[in-house]
Amino acid sequence: QKEVEQDPGPLSVPEGAIVSLNCTYSNSAFQYFMWYRQYSRKGPELLMYTYSSGNKEDGRFTAQVDKSSKYISLFIRDSQPSDSATYLCAMSSRALMNRDDKIIFGKGTRLHILP
């Protein structure tokens, strides 16, 4: 079983719709969860970061973590064409990095917001 599973898409939704992006994982040691956005020909940029379970909101974006189900979500409200990008989930078991730590990324979901 892969450590992190993410549907690659593409996911196409009309402008203004609510978008739901998801990742599942197998390693129960993961405690730090991140969502990155990557535009074409650019490096990823951090969107949201959450620790352990619960919700976190930032403007139109909400990150949700359900550790009991090993499932994380990113919701985008009032989606805009400028939200069209690839969204990567990432997770880690520890904060500061040492030789035993990893940051594991999903493959990314390509999102298209249709005007």
Q: Which residues bind another protein (CB under 8 A)?
A: 4, 8, 32, 34, 41-46, 49, 51, 88, 90, 92, 94-99, 101-108
Q: In the complex with another protein, which residue's Cβ is closer, 82 or 98? A: 98
Nearest distance from residue 16's CB to another protein, in Å? 29
Nearest distance from residue 14's CB to another protein, in Å? 27
Instruction: Judge whether 48 and 56 are in contact, CB under 8 Å.
Output: yes
Nearest distance from residue 106's CB to another protein, in Å? 6
**HSE-CB for 25 with a 13 A CA cutoff:** 28
**HSE-CB for 76 with a 13 A CA cutoff:** 25
CA gap 14, 35 in Å, rounded? 22
